[in-house]
Structure 1
Amino acid sequence: MDALGAFLLFLGLVVSVVLSHKQIKSFVSSHASRFKKEKVVDAEKKSMYGSDEPLPKPTPLMITPEQVQNYDDRPWRPFRWPYHQTMSIFRLDINHWLDMDKYYVHYIEEKKRILNKYGKQNMDWLPESYDACYELMETVTEHLIQRYPLLFTVLKDGSFDEKTGKGKIIRNEVTNEVLDMTLPLKEYPLWYVTKLAKEDFYIVKKSPVDEKHYLVAAAVPFPGGSFDVHQKVGCNLDVIHSEVPYYKEKLQKSMERWFNRMKSNEPVERASWYISWDHKLKINNVYQIPKYVPNQEADLSSTDPKEFNVRVERQTLRRLPRSQAIIFTNHPIFYSIEEMKDEPLVPSLIKKIIFEAPKDIIKYKNFEVFRNHISDYLEGLVQRQIEKGIIDKDTPLKTLPSYPFAHWADTDFDYVNGWNNPSPAYDKSANYTEKAKQELTNEND
């Protein structure tokens, strides 16, 4: 499975529902206070859906490079039951387009390792993508400077206008890398994007010939599964995702209509997820094939169920105003099942989904590979929640009211530490960076 496939799978469930202005305002109104401690602009009052007004600038978050080492991102919990077709898309608060967390350095280092080792397998582009990639570079740079003014220092401030501007030189205060984006550029614009943000980026443009949308560039070091960018760039979305569950039935006819009506001031976000027993970003062991990991079953059976984690694929979709390119981003985040054990119904939902989700979803996410191995562990967590009074044995199993975030997400944010998981099962100082490096043992890692 790849991140873009996961997003299109979700979008297939979305496009059959009309996303009206009224529905969006209803959502914003009911969720506007969720992150009020971060002083986000009231989206209900500033609703721009259906207009051509530009997006607002992000609100500065004054965290320092030292504070990033302890900073936790928003706690995603995208578990739904019943697991059926539903609208699970949310308007994106532009403050959270490119989020920061304590794994930022690890992700940037892994990007560099993967792109240097695999090249076009994980990053490639067509010549006609230049204008979109250039605008993306400009947009990412300006966003990070505005959102994190203490993390990105402007050493030379010039316009990115290719006719009259001189470009910028900035220093990444977290990695200490200086990025020279003075004009003419020394590298393709997409390279600068990968050095600045930890997200994967897909750039999609509409062809003037057949009016279909094509993947024209992509920097995807972290697909999590089998995804060869070089083979996908230049293909339209129907070809790329013909094997994605629900694509033909739910998405093929509606995809172009969805993209055609999307405005540059209406970015959206959502999250997908699957389970693995490692923290690899390029390809998780659950998606390895025997050619590279002939001992997968032994590796799995020797792993303590407490070591299993949920890989959440946090995804956004937005249109760039000048090039009209559509930008899809993906940011994987790992949450151990153990750290979520005190959150009401989370173990119950995970157990229910991996055994009783639709068969094609179970196959697509490889649930059958490991679910029997962790079944007793999950059942033990369910019984533990009953014994501790977190849930009752008759508590209805359903999507949590705080979906797609943890139930404590609206109360535990501060500027220094980000979101703070109050559970004693969570160690704030824990960092899996070194463990993730030690896990890189396979030929295609």
Structure 2
Amino acid sequence: MIDPGYVILFLGLSISLLLSRKHVVSLISSFRSKTAAVDEEKARRNSYGSDEPLKPPTPLMITPEQVSNFDDRPWRPFRWPYHQTMSIFKLDMNHWLDMDKYYVHYIEEKKRIIQKYGKENIDWLPDSEDATFELMQTVVDHLIVRYPLLFTVLKDGDFYEGKGKIIKNEITKEILDMTLPLKEHPLMYVTKLAKEDFYIVKKNPVDDLHYLVAAAVPFPGGSFGVDHKIGKTLDVIHSDVPYYKEKLKKSMERWFDRMKPNDPVERASWYISWDHKLKVNNVYQLPKYVPNLVADLESTDPREFNVRVERQTLRRLPRSNAIIFTNHPIFYSIEEMKDEPLVPSLIKKIIYEGPKDIIKYKNFEVFRDHIASYLDGLIKRQIDKGIIKEDTPLKTLPSYPFAHWAKTDFDFVNGWNNPSPAYDKSANYSEKAKKELVHQND
């Protein structure tokens, strides 16, 4: 027979242990809550941007007639010492989709390239539908606010209420019917509105890697076609980029993971060629298409060489969570920059003494000896004119990545005005660029 005293003692101990267990569980639960809060706070601090929505762009009241004389911001992304980094800057949303006097030329070239080359320059995967639709809506909303005299709303309706819009492009005079259901793929409308190339990247929840799921890229310059990169990860897309794995991979992946919709950024890269073509520049032509490439460049006046700047932006769309990468190529002749302090010196230094893999990647060795004397002459000219001294330190300019005069010479009708006598504001290379399309893959 069990002693009742033992029963009472056992029950007392059990209750005590139960209460202690509840206390322990409570402590663990409290600890976990605090830990989760700390982790959430860390994640918030480590995320780029705040939770405030993006402000709409400021209207720029230029007319279709004024576009033909409007110059975009003057990029000068020359650095020394030259290091391979992301080199990103906070993007002013007024400049997400810029306007300039080459707008019509870019839109016409997009149409020609997409009609001729198709999926080599534009393509999308089935799981990109939400992102491409949101991109179309975002581009339309941006353009009609930023350039109200260039893009007219003929029929207004919310895309996400099943209505859509009808827009008139006052520059090209084309009417774009984007009422739902759409008559074309969203990327087709985007290419008719903006002169930028668009890459759409989404994170795969299965492997946590970022993939290129859609792209409208008529202007790769010769680096690659969309058909070789669609459906691939960032690592594959950037496999040819020098020092990507060693210097860019971690920072890029970290940025992609953390960036918020209200924290867009921009950057710029550059290379040199002796033409103004947008799909394939001469410097990246293949021997099978242009067997006499060297003879062609050697017969070209060094004053005809120009810098192609790849102006790029990164932003996240709030609904689809997709990351949008834009690229906008802009050409600047070396001649028009000859009065800007140290620019010829920086170009000469980089094409001869930059990182060897960068020199190879940008094909500097192909043409640098041909333009070296020309650059030396410009450097001497700057010394003779007192623009620089012989002992002026060669380093990245304080105005990087823009020309030194960019902040002081802007007007709302003509854009930025290069004060150099070497720059002709009325010059437009659009017709010349069309005549340069002589190769089979142009």
Same fold, TM exceeding 0.5? yes
Counterpart contact for 2:144–2:152, Cα < 8 Å: yes
**Contact between 1:59 and 1:146, CA under 8 Å: does it hold in 2?**
yes
**How many angstroms apart in 2 are the aligned matches of 1:353 and 1:72?**
27
Q: Are the counterparts in 1 of residues 84 and 247 from structure 2 also a CA contact under 8 Å?
A: no
The structural deviation recorded for 1:333 is 0.2
Letter paired with 2:424: D
Structure 2 unmatched runs, 5+: 1-43
Contact 1:55/1:265 (8 A) holds in 2: yes
| Pair 321,423 (structure 1): closer, same or farther in 2 beyond 3 Å | same
2:150 counterpart residue number: 151
**Secondary structure of the corresponding residue to residue 143 of structure 1:** helix
Report the CA distance between 1:249 and its aligned residue.
Answer: 1.4
CA displacement, residues 224-270 of structure 1 (integer Å, 9 cap, x when unaligned) = 01312122111111122223211221233444322111100000001
Counterpart of 1:177 in structure 2 is: 174
Which residue of structure 2 lines up, in the alignment, with residue 130 of structure 1? 129
SS in structure 1 at match of 2:378:
helix
Correspondence 1:356 to 2:356: no
Structure number with the higher helix fraction is 2
What SS is found at the alignment partner of 2:159?
Answer: coil
Q: How big is the shift at 1:219?
A: 0.4
Deviations 1:80-136 (A, max 9, x none): 111125562100000000000000000000000000000000000001001000000
Distance 1:116 1:343, change over 3 A: same
Deviation at 1:315, TM superposition (A): 0.3
* Partner residue, 2:410: 413
Q: Please, what is the CA RMSD of the aligned residues?
A: 1.5
1:177-326 alignment runs, 5 A limit: 177-326=174-323
- Alignment partners' CA distance in 2, 1:426 and 1:90: 27
Q: Which position in structure 1 is the counterpart of 2:379?
A: 382
Deviation at 1:50, TM superposition (A): 3.4
User: Corresponding residue for 1:36?
Assistant: none
Q: How many residue pairs are counted as aligned between the two chains? A: 399
User: Amino acid of the residue matched to residue 378 of structure 2?
Assistant: L
Out of 339, 342, 348, the position equivalent to 1:342 is 339
Q: Secondary structure of the equivalent of 1:421?
A: coil
**1:333 corresponds to which residue?**
330
**1:165 shift after superposition:** 3.0
Tell me the amino acid that sits aligned with residue 66 of structure 2.
Q
2:375 is paired with a residue whose SS is helix
Match of 1:62 in 2: 61
Q: How does 1:73-112 map to 2 (within 5 A)?
A: 73-85=72-84, 88-112=87-111
- Measured in 2, the distance between the counterparts of 1:132 and 1:232 equals 18
Structure 1 residues 21 and 285: alpha-carbon distance in aligned structure 2, compared to 1, 3 A threshold: farther
Deviation at 1:282, TM superposition (A): 0.1
Alpha-carbon contact 1:89-1:270 (below 8 Å) kept: yes
Within 1, Cα distance between the matches of 2:57 and 2:187?
22
Q: Distance in 2 between matches of 1:374 and 1:420?
A: 27
Is residue 395 of structure 2 the alignment partner of residue 398 of structure 1? Answer: yes
Shift of 1:21: 8.5
Give yes or no for contact 1:21–1:50 (8 Å, CA) kept in 2: no
2:293 is aligned with what amino acid? Q
Instruction: Mark the structure with the bigger radius of gyration.
Output: 2
Partner Cα distance (1:410, 1:256) in 2: 33
Structure 1 outlier segments of 4+, above 6 Å: none
What TM-score does the superposition give when structure 1 sets the normalisation length?
0.88
State the distance in 2 between where 1:335 and 1:226 align: 19
| Alpha-carbon separation, structure 2, partners of 1:243 and 1:175 | 37
Q: 3-state SS of the aligned residue for 2:366?
A: helix
Quote the Cα distance in structure 1 between the aligned partners of 2:197 and 2:366.
27
CA distance in structure 1 between the partners assigned to 2:252 and 2:56 by the alignment: 29
Query: Structure 2 counterpart of 1:414, which letter?
Result: D
TM-superposed deviation, 1:51: 1.6
Structure 2 CA distance for partners of 1:367 and 1:125, relative to 1, 3 Å: same
Residue range with higher mean Cα deviation, 223-232 or 173-182: 223-232
Distance 1:77 1:253, change over 3 A: closer
How many angstroms apart in 1 are the aligned matches of 2:251 and 2:384?
A: 47
- Deviation, 1:440, is 0.2
* Secondary structure class of the residue paired with 1:316: strand
Question: Aligned pair 1:428/2:396, yes or no?
Answer: no
Distance 1:253 1:79, change over 3 A: closer
Distance 2:423 2:158 in 1: 45
- Tell me the SS of whatever aligns to 1:252: helix
Q: Deviations over 1:60-99 (max 9, x none)?
A: 0000000000000000000011112556210000000000
Aligned amino acid, residue 113 of structure 2: I
